[in-house]
Amino acid sequence: MDAKDILGLPKNPFPATQEKKPRPQKETQRKPDGVHREVYALTGGMAPLMPTIEVSHLKKRQNTEKEKISWQWLPFTSSARTDNLHLYHWVRVVNGVPPTGDYSFAKYNKSVDVVKYTDEEYKKHLTDPMWSREETDQLFDLCERFDLRFIIIADRFPYPRTVEELKSRYYAVTRALLLARAPSPGDVSGNPIVKEPYNMTHEVERKRALSVVLSQTKQQEQRDAEILAEAKQIMESRMASKNAEDVELPVNQIGNEGSEATAHAESISLLNTNHLSSSTAAPPTAECTSTPASLRMLRVYLRTHALEQMVQAANSSAGLRTIKRVDQTLQDLGVHLKPKVPTKSVCAEHLELRKEILTLLNLQKQLQNREAEASVNRDNSYAETPSTPKRSFRGDVERSLVPDSAGFGGDRVGKRDHKRKAPGRFTDAPPSPPQSKRPRKLKSSDG
């Protein structure tokens, strides 16, 4: 007896298990020749980012005609030489045909065209009490020989002259000859020697400053770096203190747009009036007309930067909308927002004009508030006058109740008593007298 007998199942054998379907094999790509197995496993057969040359192409040789190359010891001449000297060197010869043409390095033979002068030109244009004719002739010969290499010229010059003196004399003579030989000065105005004459004093000062910088020791360079770091820290501390002062500005000043939007019209006008009286009585503060203390400590600063800071200090108490109105007023008057020539007097006048425009805008605002206040007071005076006729509205008339009576069914009131009474425009007006109303007819249900 087995489990099938217990469960009452037939003793037929179980059907054969379904054979598993074989998975389709992935198409394996054959590793190309010349590629390492590790490299191919990493790339996975992907195309490279950069185009590459197949290995098979590298093994192929181009089918070109065979050239017979040999090296021969052959003579040559150079156009850079005037003595027609014959020298020899090894030359690459292809198929027995030697190369022809000039020497390949002859193109690097460059020379300077040094001007020549005559006795008449020297007497007329080149006379100098500091230089003799012999020294000038010797200088120009050496310049032509050594191609204006003034270090070598100064070393070979027989007279005690510095490099700067030799340069100054050479360029002065050349410039005078160019101007004398030209038909008009405009023909040689584009020449560098004429356009930018040599300045011996500037050259001497430049070399002196350069020698001072190059002769500094490491300790001096370290000391200079420490001084620059300390100066940077001082600047940062000054900027931080200035930002802290800007944050601690008074809030109850002219142009506070936030308080004006939330306060009552009477309180706004009172605040503006008090501030206007104090501002007109007091003279202009030195903060708006003089240089800020943070800039005076710097000793050296740009006046345009100082003007920007003074304008910001003057507009710090005003709102953004007021500042925009001030700028728009300046544009309407034809005044630049930033002076083109920011001298001290111009900056002072510019700040004074901004202050007057700001005062004008605040006066206009106070005038509007006064007019609004006057209109409100005028309406209230009309309401309090007893002789003024009052307008009657439908909702202002009080409806009388139906009089209580035993014959009217107890405490039943009129239908109009349930309606909401609309408040009148003037609350102080006396109520209208009650109106008589006919009693309604009795119904049988009421008895």
pLDDT at 402 over 50: no
Residue 416 is given by DSSP the state: G
pLDDT value for 291: 58
Residue 355 is given by DSSP the state: H
This prediction has a pTM of 0.38
Q: How many CB atoms are located within 10 Å of the residue 318 CB?
A: 21
The 10s digit of each residue's pLDDT in 143-164 is: 999 999 999 999 999 999 999 9
pLDDT at 444 over 50: yes
Mean pLDDT for 355-361 is: 88
Phi/psi class of residue 95: alpha, beta or left (left: φ > 0; alpha: ψ in -120 to 50)? left
Q: How far apart are CA 276 and CA 320, in angstroms?
A: 20
Domain with CATH 1.10.10.60 in the chain: 119-214
The 10s digit of each residue's pLDDT in 189-210 is: 899 999 999 999 999 999 999 9
The 10s digit of each residue's pLDDT in 251-304 is: 444 344 444 444 344 444 433 444 444 444 334 443 344 556 666 666 666 777
CATH H-level superfamily of 119-214:
Homeodomain-like (1.10.10.60)
Looking at every residue in the chain, the average pLDDT score rounds to 75
Q: How far apart are CA 401 and CA 294, in angstroms?
A: 81
Count Cβ neighbours within 10 Å for each residue of 226-256 and write b for 16 or more, e otherwise. Answer: eeeeeeeeeeeeeeeeeeeeeeeeeeeebbb
Residue type present at position 48:
P
Q: How far apart are CA 271 and CA 51, in angstroms?
A: 80
Q: How far apart are CA 338 and CA 309, in angstroms?
A: 12
